[in-house]
Amino acid sequence: MKVIIDTNVLVSGIFFGGIPKEILLAWKSNIFTLVISHEILEEYLEVVQELQNIYPTVKALDIVQTIAVNSEITYSIVLKDQICEVPDDDKFLAAALASKTKIIVSGDKLLNKISGWSGISVLSPRTFYDKYIKR
H helix and E strand count, the chain: 7, 5
- The answer to whether residue 33 scores a pLDDT higher than 80 is yes
Q: What is the CATH number of the domain that holds 116?
A: 3.40.50.1010
> DSSP string of 78-132?
PPSS--SSSGGGHHHHHHHHHHT--EEE---HHHHTTTTGGG-EEE-HHHHIIII
Number of domains observed in the structure of the chain = 1
- The answer to whether residue 23 scores a pLDDT higher than 60 is yes
121 C-beta neighbours (distance < 10 Å), count = 17
Residue type (1 letter), 105: V
Give, as one character, the DSSP assignment of residue 31. S
Q: pLDDT tens-digit profile of 58-98?
A: 889 889 999 999 999 998 766 676 665 565 778 898 899 88
Mean pLDDT, rounded, for 98-126: 88
5-14, 38-47, 73-82: least confident range: 73-82
Q: What is the pLDDT at residue 84?
A: 54
Residue type (1 letter), 135: R
Domain that holds residue 122: 2-133
pTM of the predicted model as reported, rounded to 2 decimal places? 0.90
Order of all β-strands in the sheet with 33-37: 72-74, 33-37, 2-5, 103-105, 121-123
Distance CA 2, CA 85 (A): 24
Confidence grade of residue 22 (pLDDT, cut at 50, 70, 90): very high
Q: What is the pLDDT at residue 119?
A: 86
Residue 63's contacts (CB-CB under 8 Å, 6 or more residues apart) are 14, 24, 48
Higher pLDDT, 106 or 88: 106
